[in-house]
Amino acid sequence: MFKSITNCKYFIIISCIISWSSFAGNVSPNDPAIASAHPLATQAGYDILKQGGNAFDAAVAVSSVLSVVEPYSSGLGGGGFFLLHRESDQFQIFVDAREKAPGKADADMYLDEFKNVIPRVSLDGTLAAGIPGLAAGLTHVSEKYGVLPLDQVLAPAIALAENGFPVYERFITALKVAIAIDVMSPKFIENFTLEGEIPEVGTLIKQPELANTLRVIASQGHDGFYNSELTETIVTESNESGSIWTTNDFKNYEIVEREPLQVKFSDYQLTLAPPPSSGGTTIATILNILSEYNYRDMNTAEFVHLITEAMRRAYKDRSEFLGDPDFVVVPVLKLISKNNAIKHSSSINLDRATPSKQIGKSFEANPKEKGTETTHFSILDQDGNRVSTTQTINTWFGSGYMLPSAGFILNNEMDDFSAKAFAPNRYGLVHGEANSKAPNKRMVSSMSPTFIESKDDLAILGTPGGAKIITMVLLSLISWTEGADADAMTSGRRFHHQYLPDEIHHEKDAFGEDVIDSLVSKGHSLKEIGDYGNMQVVTYKKSDGSVKASSDPRALIENSEIDFY
């Protein structure tokens, strides 16, 4: 059933699956492990496992609770990707619950009469929102892969929406950012503030309308959200606030099950996100370029220069070729081929930075988001089933528009399309025609849920962070292959280059002075930015069955105890 990697045509290969479990004997994880951005979500996942659920049931519980307690990151008004592994038959699948452009979307909908981009229309309010996919993802994962009934796995989220969750510092930070933008809808202000004032830590936030919406999904499944009275209300209310949504957009919404990218790197089998995520393709391209060099023999400065040059070229490919594979041909095999790596390597000078304008076009690209939006969780159950999920409403609190009756915030994912060719989005990312808007098309994403497996061990990882998701996962992945543990993966200092702007963005202390001097002497521009990301990692050592869950120390939400197994 499984082909050996050596029989495959490409250096890095799609659709070649190695079953490491055949090498590993029958050892199972000693415990389940869950890492998520909020203790209440992690707790809900463990509770569902205790009730007899599997990792897929737990994923639905964690995801839906995050929608309630972390509404600045993700929610029923957004979408996500679920990377699944079923241990019994080694089946792996990528459930694409990404938002889609409404049927009335138009390539020029965010341009003025002179074809200039109208600022913030793709970010604020209902016109910025794609048709949400998360509810379809939840019902699909539950019904096809779970063992518990949907109402049971949604029960923790319903209870927290009904009874309230305590406000915490990170929520307040997000709220302050949102309120400063001043586009939050009346229901948003009513739900999340005390008549416009920021609530104190510990204040209970109740969301009865959201509880009702979750109940409708629990009782009616997919149709409860996409083809019901609730759908009519969602569309009517959003239309009253300017959206172009129709009930047909909802009736037509479906998740897509896609083959994950399967890639070999060193002794590791990587399971990566395929288009419309740009994550897997870009990570594989960078790793392929690295593999053209003895990078392990390099000192830190030499390595950072090389990987920066690889990032620059892979993100350039991303900007030109990535799009919704149901609408455009994305040449994934070509991009992740050895030939492409050789081509890119031939233009790399190990002594000098290559100006981005020398390898492509030059566009203004000024990222406005640091890289904390969105959310990720990782799960391993005791049978060895795995889930790696990243879900989002795009920027913090998405479009800022909360539906009065349904009680969830609409995404502003339409900003992930190009407003026009090579106009930078909120993350400073530029895209070509492949990612132009069209009715019912999915916008390119950077979300990169990932598995890394060898015959000895396994890591399940991912992170929020917009354009920087890809390089965060890349750096952690490489560190894992060099012996880092889960905590080192989540805490490692980060740096990033995305082709445009032509700058290395880095956290404080990511580099020593000697590395900075060396990079500058090679012609790189460096920009120190604050900490970013919120990585969630689960690891498993097959030799002794030990597991570890690690949450990013940059964004830990304390004040809550988890009843682990």
The residues annotated with a catalytic role in the active site are 374
Asked if 131 touches ligand GLY (CB under 6 A), the answer is no
Q: How far is the CB of 374 from ligand GLY (least distance, A)?
A: 6
Choosing from 142, 228, 262, 392, the residue that interacts with ligand GLY (CB under 6 A) is: 392
Local structure of residue 441 (DSSP, 8 states)? P
Question: Taking CB under 6 A as the criterion, which residues in 448-467 touch ligand GLY?
Answer: 466
Choosing from 99, 237, 317, 416, the residue that interacts with ligand GLY (CB under 6 A) is: 416
Would you say 416 or 507 has its CB closer to ligand GLY? 416
Choosing from 213, 356, 391, 445, the residue that interacts with ligand GLY (CB under 6 A) is: 445
Q: How far is the CB of 292 from ligand GLY (least distance, A)?
A: 28
Token pair for 561: 């105890």
Asked if 446 touches ligand GLY (CB under 6 A), the answer is yes
Local structure of residue 353 (DSSP, 8 states)? P
Chain position whose Cβ is nearest to ligand GLY:
445
Asked if 36 touches ligand GLY (CB under 6 A), the answer is no
Bridge partners (DSSP) of residue 270 are 263, 452
Local structure of residue 259 (DSSP, 8 states)? P
Report the C-alpha gap between 342 and 174 in whole angstroms. Answer: 43
* Through-space distance between the first and last CA atoms of the chain, rounded to whole angstroms: 35
Contacting residues for 565 by C-beta, under 8 A, at least 6 apart: 31, 32, 46, 49, 50
Report the C-alpha gap between 373 and 56 in whole angstroms. Answer: 24
Q: How far is the CB of 361 from ligand GLY (least distance, A)?
A: 22
Asked if 394 touches ligand GLY (CB under 6 A), the answer is yes
What strand order describes the sheet that includes 495-496? 495-496, 504-506, 526-528
Query: Which stretch, 110-118, 325-333, 445-453, 519-527, contacts ligand GLY (CB under 6 A)?
Result: 445-453
Query: Which stretch, 54-62, 221-229, 256-264, 439-447, contacts ligand GLY (CB under 6 A)?
Result: 439-447
Query: Which stretch, 14-22, 219-227, 444-452, 520-528, contacts ligand GLY (CB under 6 A)?
Result: 444-452
Q: How far is CA 474 from CA 272, 321, 450, 493, in A?
A: 11, 20, 10, 12
Query: Which stretch, 124-132, 312-320, 441-449, 521-529, contacts ligand GLY (CB under 6 A)?
Result: 441-449
Report the C-alpha gap between 307 and 147 in whole angstroms. Answer: 43
Closest among 491, 469, 428 to 81, alpha carbons compared: 469
Query: Which stretch, 233-241, 377-385, 442-450, 492-500, contacts ligand GLY (CB under 6 A)?
Result: 442-450
Asked if 447 touches ligand GLY (CB under 6 A), the answer is yes
Would you say 31 or 416 has its CB closer to ligand GLY? 416
With beta carbons less than 8 A apart as the criterion, state whether 305 and 350 touch. Answer: yes
Would you say 396 or 480 has its CB closer to ligand GLY? 396
Q: CB burial class (10 A; 0-12, 13-18, 19+) of residue 401?
A: buried
Would you say 211 or 410 has its CB closer to ligand GLY? 410
Return residues touching ligand GLY (CB under 6 A).
Answer: 374, 392, 394, 413, 416, 445-447, 466
